[in-house]
Amino acid sequence: MPKFARLLADERPAEVALRDPYRTMTWAQVDEALNRVSNGLRALDLGPDKRIAVFAENAAETALAHLGGLLGGASTVPVNFHLTTDETAYILQDSKTRVLFVGPETLERGVVAAASSGVPTVIAWRCAPAQGVIEWEAWLAGNAADDPPTDVRPLPNLLYTSGTTGRPKGTDLPPTMFAGGVTIAEHLDELKKNGFARFGAHLVVGPMYHTGPLSGMRLLVAGKASVTLARFDAEATLAAINDYRTESTVMVPTHFVRLLALPDEVKARYDVSSMKMVAHTGATCPIDVKRP
């Protein structure tokens, strides 16, 4: 793994680097997990396009699959976890995905979609054993923990839009959002220049199949701890800010509206003074929502 996580592990051994509703991970644990994901993917046949797909709700594993895939030289495909089996199968086939990561909420749909689209490898976390599925923890344990090479070319995400013909269209993450670089080492240096890197812990509230939350998760590379909610919940968002003193996040206007709609007594329970930067994406946001 590039040395950022290992250095942070030495400097702040007790600090939680990655937190979701199910687990917490220190910088040392993040470092090892990313190494194992990267090396495990490099050992598989990812095809000429080097595509892997992540079809899961927000979780630490979702972040590790995406970031570990990037570090392993793969192009990751974020798949909307609301999609049906047939919709998912279309994306897997169209993207030429070779490895599919799933969580407990998407296991059944993912297994069927992978089988029908010719995806040879399905890896699942927090799931009961299933035929033809590799268990995440066992897969990690079988992969090398050594640092993967950083001289490989970084590949952008392949994102699927609604399109205009009834079928989603795949498009690479645009250059304005992709940090670039000729090698992974250069790419990581560019990621550290993200504007959010000026702040402390980052809160991920939107689903990682959207570019904003996905980009926010990558702030781990800049040494910024990540607090991830499985799904957006207005009061849970305030509680996370209060409990973990997060300093930045990316939301959409609907999130603002739902936060503002909470009863005053609920909003008063939480100290959100740690927040320094809240960016919004998606639809335009009315001024009276931004500045109530």
Segment 86-102 shows an average pLDDT of 97
Burial 8-37 (b: 16+ CB within 10 A, else e): bbeeeeeebbbbbeeeebbbbbbbbbbbbb
The encoded tokens of residue 152 equal: 């490989």
> Could you tell me if 37 and 69 are in contact, meaning their C-beta atoms sit under 8 angstroms apart?
yes
Q: Specify the pLDDT at position 3.
A: 65
List C-alpha distances in Å: 238 to 84, 199, 235, 278: 32, 18, 5, 13
pLDDT digits (tens, 9 = 90+) for 41-61: 999 999 999 999 999 999 999
Do 47 and 102 reside in the same domain of the chain? Answer: yes
Do 180 and 268 reside in the same domain of the chain? Answer: no
User: Is the model's pLDDT at 12 over the cut of 90?
Assistant: no
Helix (H, G, I), strand (E, B) or coil at 244: helix
Q: Specify the pLDDT at position 164.
A: 53
Backbone angles phi, psi at 223, to 5 degrees: 80, 25
Q: What is the mean pLDDT of the chain?
A: 92
What is the domain range of residue 245? 234-290
Cβ neighbours of 104 (radius 10 Å)? 14
Tell me the whole-structure pTM to 2 decimals. Answer: 0.94
pLDDT digits (tens, 9 = 90+) for 232-258: 999 999 999 999 999 999 999 899 999
Do 171 and 249 reside in the same domain of the chain? Answer: no
- Rounded-to-integer distance, Cα 68 and Cα 280, Å: 26
Report the CATH number that the domain containing residue 70 is assigned in CATH: 3.40.50.980
Do 204 and 272 reside in the same domain of the chain? Answer: no
- Rounded-to-integer distance, Cα 159 and Cα 169, Å: 8
Quick one: pLDDT band at residue 163, thresholds 50, 70, 90? low
Do 220 and 267 reside in the same domain of the chain? Answer: no
Helices (H), the chain: 4-11, 27-42, 60-71, 85-95, 107-117, 136-141, 184-191, 211-217, 234-244, 253-260, 264-267, 287-290
pLDDT digits (tens, 9 = 90+) for 19-43: 999 999 999 999 999 999 999 999 9
Bridge-based pairing state of the strands 169-172 and 158-161: antiparallel
